[in-house]
Amino acid sequence: MPWRLVLASASPRRRQLLQGLDLPVEITSVDIDETPPVGMPDDQVAEHLAREKAAAWNGTLAPDQVLITADTTVLVDEHLLNKPVDAADARRMLRLLAGREHRVITGVCLRTATTTISFADIARVTFRDLSDDEIDYYVAQHKPMDKAGAYGVQDWIGYTGVTRIDGSFYTVMGLPMHRVYEALRLLPR
């Protein structure tokens, strides 16, 4: 594959996943206000924010470079869960998710010097019931403040609490690798 990748993300999980493609990866960052526009349907927020991040990145891309940005949201019932603001908010989110199914939506934007494409991928995740002690332990020991829905499927709470995933594990982790790879393959040069 002819691309050199530029990942604009502070997420160590996205960095790890993207490096698994065996392509050169440059890491940078971009900071935007992640408040969704008023009235935007919750299932469109992740892709919208990924596009906003790509638009906000102010670097220059060489003809063989692809900028990749992403955002992940968690939806349970009518609740949109982004990153928790503090430990109490993280505990609140985990109590909402305990014993239930929710949707994880990861939006991705790929931008070259000439083309921008975006998409979203959805996975459904089911948690077993979680006790308050388990939730308190997870929040204290694993500090999920940088994770949508206040959890990482790849760490303790995923090991012990997730009973089912319908969709890509990597979408839940923060970057749907099967979709990213396919988009890279089809990007015009």
Catalytic residue status for 71: yes
61's tokens: 């891309």
The runs of H, that is alpha helices, within 98-153 are: 132-142
Alpha-carbon distance of 42 to 75, in angstroms, equals 8
- Which residues are CB-contacts of 133 (< 8 A; sequence separation ≥ 6)? none
Alpha-carbon distance of 6 to 21, in angstroms, equals 13
Residues in the chain: 189
Catalytic residue among 33, 71, 89, 121: 71
Alpha-carbon distance of 61 to 78, in angstroms, equals 39
CB 42 within 8 A of CB 73: yes
Give the catalytic positions in this structure: 71
